Chains A and B, each alone.
Chain A
Amino acid sequence: MNGTRIAFFAVGVVFAVDTVLLLGLITLKTVHRRRMERHDQRRSIYLGVLSRRLAFPLHTDYIDPEVARDGAFLDAVIDLRNTVAGPEIDTLAGIIDRYGLVKRQAARLRSRFPLGRRLRAAVSLAEMGDESSAPLLIEFLSDREPEIRIQCARGLGRMQHTPAIDAIIERFGKESPWVRSRFADTLVGFGALAAWPLLAYARVNHDYDDNAAVVEAIRVLGTIGERDIGPPLSDLLAKFRNPELKIAAIEALGYVGGPLAVTPLVAYMQDHDWRLRAKAANSLGEIGDPQASPALRLGLEDENWWVRRNSAGALAGIPGGLGILHEALHADDQFARDAAAEALADCGQLGKARERQEQGQATAADLELLGFMIEDALVP
């Protein structure tokens, strides 16, 4: 019967596939595993040899040039590169140079191989951090594979190769959110050198529709923390129309604005958008200038929970703010009382009050705070 023959054939195929899968599994477990073990053994040996070279530079063990081809040797070099700093880096750079490790990985990166090998090459180049690979990495910032682009940027950041900053910023707007966030981290690594180019980028691009990149750029500015950026950023903030941009700029000013930024930020605490009010309160806390205290005290009574919470948290970090918070425990406004209590707990005051109480050294303010937290009467 034809049907039966087909059925038998199908069963045969199925069991053939099963056998192939089973063999594949066995191969992976045995052959592949053994290969990995030998790789690890060789790597250990290389680590030993290279460590001795780092520890006593005068002794030079003989290293066969053939090791340049061994992935285990590359792994060992990279591991050491990530472990030691200072003069040992030069020794390693010399080894990288002598054995042509960069050239080899560059060739792999350029190849048409599938993702695995190329990604590995990009990661290796990034980890080796050798200046000679910088032009190549800049070139591959526009590779079709996002993970490779990320690694190239990362490598350029590790070697602090400043010409790359513009290249990375140029790609900012074209990247997906994940890649862009990785680029952002790399730019943070460049520090102050990246601040002005980023500001320029924000100035030019903030009016366009897709602001996500500019938002990210402003965030990076805040993280870099370059104080000189404060005033121009403040000016730029006044020009922004998009609320997301404004929020990012307000947040960044918290880090770079300094006392000069207090006045504009206090103005934002009156904005109709709660997100801007909340961010402004947060930033005023970061700046830590007592000028902001009155505005923050008002913020405790804001209708929005986030604004109240941020205002209270900000006060906890400002000189004199704790006193204001303690006073707010008596406020008429229920919201203000609750916000103040939460902030006093979060900043550790509650814990300290408890400790002092246990040691019999509680102040009146401590007892009041502890009592506030418990529904019933004051703690004795």
Chain B
Amino acid sequence: MGIGGRIGGSLGESARVTTPLVGLCYDIETRMSQAKRVLVADDSEAVRTVLVTALTQAGYEVAVAINGNDAYEMGQTGSIDLALLDHLMPGLLGIEVIARWQAEGYQIPVIILSGVDDERTIVDSLDLGAVDFVRKPFRLPELMARIRQRLPD
């Protein structure tokens, strides 16, 4: 496949994945049903890359935002099944995004990624309606398990 490979799924749905260089080649197949769409919002490129890689490998469609305002707007499109939001982002904070979505009636399950010293944030975000929180740095297999739990087929 290589660069810019096309992945075919059933139901005529296809997800385009662009892979950077450094000689690699792999197959990805989407699941039988319509792929679930996960929003990843974090200002750290490393976090985004790791999550996008892992999520795509697991068969999810991934939308990416680099700040709170973009994340909020993407949620408004209504096509997001689960959101992984960083708490401290430029623009709107993670919990502010949740608050706004709730106020506007979007029922999007959110997993908050929070840094080490954010005790109060975790409590506040759970109060506001986040379904889970994961501390950063996170264990990848554990995070994937929690995501799978929130997105049953």
A/B: CB atoms within 8 Å of each other: yes
Per-residue interface assignment for chain B, residues 118 to 140, with 1 indicating a CB less than 8 Å from any chain A CB and 0 otherwise = 00000000000000000011111
Bound complex: CA of A85 vs CA of B137, how far in Å? 5
| Residues of chain A at the chain B interface (Cβ within 8 Å) | 43-45, 47-49, 51-52, 54-56, 59, 61-63, 76, 79-80, 82-88
Q: Tell yes or no: B3 within 8 A of A by CB.
A: no
A51-B23 contact, Cβ under 8 Å, with A82-B137, A88-B140: no
Stretch from B4-12, B31-39, B50-58, B74-82 at the A interface: B50-58
Q: Which residue of B lies closest to A79 (CB)?
A: B46
**What's the tally of chain B residues with a CB closer than 8 Å to chain A?**
24
Which one of A62, A76, A88 lies within 8 Å of B22 (CB-CB)? A62
Which one of A44, A79, A85 lies within 8 Å of B20 (CB-CB)? A44
Q: Indicate if the CB atoms of B23 and A56 lie closer than 8 Å.
A: no
A83-B44 contact, Cβ under 8 Å, with A45-B20, A62-B23: yes
Bound complex: CA of A61 vs CA of B21, how far in Å? 10
A48-B20 contact, Cβ under 8 Å, with A55-B54, A83-B47: yes
Q: Indicate if the CB atoms of A61 and B49 lie closer than 8 Å.
A: no
Chain A residues with Cβ below 8 Å from B21 are 45
Chain B residues with Cβ below 8 Å from A48 are 19-20, 22, 49, 53
Chain B residues with Cβ below 8 Å from A44 are 20, 45, 49
Q: Indicate if the CB atoms of A59 and B49 lie closer than 8 Å.
A: no
> For chains A and B in complex, what number of residue pairs have CB atoms within 8 angstroms?
75
Bound complex: CA of A55 vs CA of B143, how far in Å? 12
Chain B residues with Cβ below 8 Å from A87 are 139, 141
| Residues of chain B at the chain A interface (Cβ within 8 Å) | 19-24, 26, 44-47, 49-50, 52-54, 57, 136-142
Q: Indicate if the CB atoms of A84 and B137 lie closer than 8 Å.
A: yes
Chain B residues with Cβ below 8 Å from A52 are 24, 53
Chain B residues with Cβ below 8 Å from A61 are 22-24
Bound complex: CA of A83 vs CA of B48, how far in Å? 10
How far does the Cβ of A57 sit from chain B's closest Cβ, in whole Å?
11
Chain B residues with Cβ below 8 Å from A62 are 22-23
Which one of A51, A79, A82, A86 lies within 8 Å of B139 (CB-CB)? A86
Bound complex: CA of A54 vs CA of B57, how far in Å? 12
Q: Which residue of A lies closest to B49 (CB)?
A: A47
How far does the Cβ of A356 sit from chain B's closest Cβ, in whole Å?
19
Interchain residue pairs with CB less than 8 A apart (6): A47-B45, A51-B52, A52-B24, A55-B140, A79-B45, A84-B137
Q: Indicate if the CB atoms of A83 and B53 lie closer than 8 Å.
A: no
Which one of B26, B46, B52 lies within 8 Å of A76 (CB-CB)? B46
Chain B residues with Cβ below 8 Å from A55 are 50, 53-54, 57, 140
Bound complex: CA of A85 vs CA of B136, how far in Å? 8
Closest 10 CB pairs of A and B: A79-B46, A86-B139, A51-B53, A85-B137, A47-B49, A83-B46, A51-B50, A51-B49, A61-B24, A55-B54
A56-B45 contact, Cβ under 8 Å, with A45-B22, A62-B23, A80-B50: no
Sample of 15 further A-B pairs with CB below 8 A, known A51-B53, A86-B142: A43-B45, A44-B20, A47-B46, A48-B49, A48-B53, A49-B24, A51-B54, A61-B22, A61-B23, A61-B24, A76-B46, A82-B137, A83-B136, A83-B137, A84-B140
Chain B residues with Cβ below 8 Å from A43 are 45
Chain A residues with Cβ below 8 Å from B52 are 51
Q: Which residue of B lies closest to A62 (CB)?
A: B23
Q: Which residue of A lies closest to B53 (CB)?
A: A51
Bound complex: CA of A55 vs CA of B21, how far in Å? 17
Q: Indicate if the CB atoms of A84 and B50 lie closer than 8 Å.
A: yes
How far does the Cβ of B147 sit from chain A's closest Cβ, in whole Å?
13
Bound complex: CA of A43 vs CA of B21, how far in Å? 12
Bound complex: CA of A62 vs CA of B25, how far in Å? 12
Chain B residues with Cβ below 8 Å from A47 are 45-46, 49-50
Q: Which residue of B lies closest to A85 (CB)?
A: B137
Q: Which residue of A lies closest to B47 (CB)?
A: A83
